[in-house]
Amino acid sequence: MATQGERRAQTRRALLDAAASLFAERGVDGASIDAIAEAADRTSGAVYDHFGGKDGILFALLEGWVDDAAAVIGAELDSATNLEERMGALWRNISRPVAGDGNWIALEHELWIYATRNEEARARLAARYRAAWAGVDEAARGWTGAEGGVGAALLGLLLGLEMMRRLDPATVTDGLAVAALCGVVTSLAPTSTMEVRS
């Protein structure tokens, strides 16, 4: 017999799986709390109990996937020996993510749309991105000596290139994406450090 903690974990997992499917199929606005609960064979009260509402389940879902992706990216960045390999690792994990069955980037786009209409979601998303930008800025200092601004530029370009690739995969090749990403990093780095660290 399952313990209370195991049942709670099963309910949480069922709700996250149902939300992932419905958000991908209908978008965030099109997936109601009741629909998520029904798809998970749970009550709407369970959604509120575990996540506080739709925003909570959306962020919990994305944060889990982003954490998984960050672990993969971190391992690849640790083994990369130059800037091109580092940018290739970032691009692969954004354009063809393994975390979240590859759906987390699509859901990230859904979250952006949702956040434009929801102030609380926008504030949470902005805080999450500020932390990501800071992490990339810190890494870029080690790669090239670049001081600030790399994180926002790099992540913005990554997501933009990924969106364009979804529209026309033949236009945004891996080579083009990696070259553009390298260009952003090198353009923000002091020229005297590039040859040493790349």
106 and 144 assigned to the same domain:
yes
Domain residues for the domain of 17 are 1-52
CB 177 within 8 A of CB 95: yes
- In this prediction the pTM is 0.75
Structural domain ending residue among the three candidates 52, 74, 95: 52
Tens digits of pLDDT across the chain (198 residues): 779 888 899 999 999 989 988 887 888 888 999 999 999 999 999 999 999 998 889 888 878 777 777 788 888 888 999 999 999 999 998 888 776 565 677 778 888 888 888 898 889 888 888 888 888 888 888 888 877 788 999 999 999 999 999 889 999 999 999 999 999 998 888 864 444 344
> Where residue 24 sits, what CATH number does that domain have?
1.10.10.60
Residue 89 neighbours by CB distance under 10 Å = 20
In a shared domain, residues 139 and 176 = yes
